[in-house]
């Protein structure tokens, strides 16, 4: 056992033994048996117990010069190292403790550190602390123990980081009634093989029992089939450090990583799961790390874009603030950009995460981002953007004169754009708001009036342009033609608004019509209602088959709006030239 552990000094650590096997990555250095001295158990009670006889090899107990206990191998003791009732600063390092009942046990201890050491094969815990304050457990191995790998009770200000905690029969790391502490960058694997979770629900790789303000993140938690984590106080503890730093790697996480961003709502992988990982009983890791946490690995490059435009160019703003690294905070990551993905970096490496680039030619461009962490490792990603350096030009055509009832063609096909027009939209008011889509459309205007018609074109990149024309619809000298089919199919309409009170009538120059039906509707307020209806027979006016007829007069009032409807009767092709006549009163 000692020999296999000794081979794992720095970097990739591979633990193999009769108890367990795990492939992990952490900065853990374990002393070799060749440089250790075998001795009996160490027991210190009170500050006065820090003596050479009790294994102290140096230091004065001050923060800048802690007592040092190092270089020992202790085998098959009841408690290998026991320290109680001390507040002097001390550091246990480079020790190998194995066999017996317990490894490192602290009682009412402040300012203690265990680093770069190995505690394995104990009947109970590898490291156990009761009523500790300001305790650091770092870059060590606690493996193959009969109870917990590391356990703290009633303690505050703990830092448990960079450790391998593996193949312990109960919990990997357990904190009970602890506060203001950190559990970070540990590899926690294959614990809870003596599974009694049906009796003890808190058995897990990481257990927080009645804790508050404990942060658990950037750990690789690999528990199969055991329970990964347990937290019994809702909202009291933190299981991630937000976006983009993320949370923990969970071997049982089954989510995808195809989105990015704080809401995981934008396309693009960022190394974090798109859905949260919930902790048993309470708690949530909002940003689970998809890949196993191997430190000094390449950072994850992630960015989003925003395209804006001027008259003759387009600007793409890029933001790499969402890039992340397992170790470095985003603020110390450096970035650079290749805006055409042509192999030439357009910007130098910089801490500034945002940049802007101007494109003067429309097209589809690939933008490449490179992110570098403090070790020099780099990660890259690309994003494709559509760039439109110039807007489209809308051409609605010339103004149009039309008669009531005429089917008017609106033609915008002369509009143009360098990347192609994707949409033509015509809009205007004709009793109601009208929207027509297409380069060439048709509309029948039923009332006399002036209509402002707007054409809006949108190109393939989303830029728009507008143009307008005026359609003037008149009711004078309207050709009223009998078409095939029902008479109503040949009806013409127009709107009449008197400028004075007066008498209105209709003049009809007939060419073969037998009669016409005249209907007048008052449309001043809300729905129009019929105020006049008459059938004019041309023969009564001696106007059949040719001649002129004038209808009876109708009193109309200033301020009112009237819809005039005229329907021809007769053989197909017969027509009359009609215009309205009005005799106003002063």
Positive/negative CA dihedral, 54, 57, 58, 59: negative
Question: In this predicted structure, what is the pLDDT of residue 35?
Answer: 82
Superfamily of chain region 304-387: Immunoglobulins (2.60.40.10)
Strand partners, 469: 453
Q: Is 128 helix (H, G, I), strand (E, B) or coil?
A: strand
Question: In this predicted structure, what is the pLDDT of residue 385?
Answer: 87
Among residues 412, 392, 411, the alpha carbon closest in space to that of 458 is found at: 392
List Cβ neighbours of 539 (8 Å cut-off, separation of 6 or more).
514
The CATH number of the domain covering residues in 400-472: 2.60.40.10
Q: How far apart are CA 530 and CA 497, in angstroms?
A: 16
Q: How far apart are CA 94 and CA 267, in angstroms?
A: 47
Residues of the chain with pLDDT under 50: 1-30, 32-33, 586
pTM listed for this prediction = 0.62
Question: In this predicted structure, what is the pLDDT of residue 497?
Answer: 85
Strand partners, 5: none
Find the helix or strand (DSSP H, E) in which 5 lies. Answer: helix 2-6
Of 1.20.1530.20, 2.60.120.680, 1.10.3720.10, 3.30.2130.30, the CATH number of 478-584 is: 2.60.120.680
């Amino acid at each position: 056992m000692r020999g296999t552990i000794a081979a794992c000094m720095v970097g990739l650590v591979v633990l193999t033994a009769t108890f367990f096997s795990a492939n992990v990555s952490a900065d853990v250095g374990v002393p070799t048996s060749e440089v250790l001295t075998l001795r009996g158990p160490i027991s210190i009670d009170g500050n006065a117990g820090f003596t050479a006889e009790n294994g102290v090899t140096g230091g004065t107990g001050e923060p800048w010069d802690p007592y040092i206990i190092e270089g020992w191998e202790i085998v098959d003791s009841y408690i290998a190292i026991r320290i109680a009732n001390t507040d002097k600063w001390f550091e246990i390092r480079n020790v190998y403790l194995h066999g017996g009942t317990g490894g490192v046990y602290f009682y009412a201890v402040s300012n203690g550190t265990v680093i770069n050491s190995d505690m394995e094969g104990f009947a109970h815990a590898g490291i156990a602390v009761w009523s500790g304050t300001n305790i650091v457990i770092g870059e060590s191995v606690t493996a193959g123990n009969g109870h917990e790998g590391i356990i703290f009770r009633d303690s505050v200000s703990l830092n448990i980081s960079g450790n391998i905690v593996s193949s312990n029969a109960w919990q990997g790391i357990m904190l009970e009634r602890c506060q203001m502490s950190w559990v970070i960058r540990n590899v926690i694997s294959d614990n809870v093989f003596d599974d009694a979770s049906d009796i003890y629900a808190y058995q897990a790789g990481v257990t927080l029992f009645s804790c508050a303000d404990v942060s658990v993140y950037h750990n690789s938690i690999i528990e199969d089939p055991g329970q990964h984590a347990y937290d019994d106080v809702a909202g009291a503890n933190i299981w991630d450090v937000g976006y983009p730093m993320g949370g923990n790697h969970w071997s049982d996480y089954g989510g995808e990583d195809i989105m990015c961003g704080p809401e995981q709502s934008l396309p693009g992988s960022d190394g974090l799961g798109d859905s949260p990982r919930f902790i048993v009983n309470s708690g949530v890791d909002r940003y689970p790390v998809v890949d196993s946490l191997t430190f000094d690995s390449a950072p994850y490059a992630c960015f989003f874009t925003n395209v804006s435009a001027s008259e003759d160019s387009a600007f793409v703003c890029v933001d790499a603030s969402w890039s992340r690294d397992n170790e470095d905070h985003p603020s110390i990551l450096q970035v650079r950009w290749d805006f055409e993905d042509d192999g030439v970096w357009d910007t130098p490496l910089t801490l500034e995460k945002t940049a802007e680039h101007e494109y003067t030619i429309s097209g589809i461009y690939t933008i490449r981002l490179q992110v570098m962490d403090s070790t020099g490792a780099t990660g890259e990603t690309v994003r494709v953007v559509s760039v439109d350096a110039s807007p489209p030009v809308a051409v609605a055509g010339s103004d149009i004169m039309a008669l009531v009832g005429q089917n008017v063609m609106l033609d915008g096909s002369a509009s143009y754009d360098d990347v192609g027009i994707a949409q033509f939209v015509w809009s205007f008011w004709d009793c109601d708001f009208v929207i027509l889509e297409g380069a060439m459309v048709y509309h029948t205007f039923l009332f006399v009036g002036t209509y402002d018609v707007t054409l809006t074109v949108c190109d393939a990149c989303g830029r728009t342009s507008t143009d307008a024309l005026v359609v003037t619809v008149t009711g004078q000298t309207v050709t009223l033609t009998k078409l095939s089919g029902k008479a109503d199919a040949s009806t013409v309409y127009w709107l009449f608004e008197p400028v004075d009170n007066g008498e209105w009538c209709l003049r009809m120059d007939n060419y073969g019509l037998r009669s016409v039906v005249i209907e007048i509707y008052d449309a001043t307020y809300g729905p129009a209602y019929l105020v006049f209806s008459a059938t004019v027979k041309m023969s009564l006016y001696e106007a059949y088959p040719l001649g002129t007829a004038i209808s009876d007069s109708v009193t109309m009032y200033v301020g009112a709006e009237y819809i005039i409807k005229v329907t021809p009767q007769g053989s197909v092709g017969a027509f009359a030239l009609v215009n309205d006549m009005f005799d106003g009163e002063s």
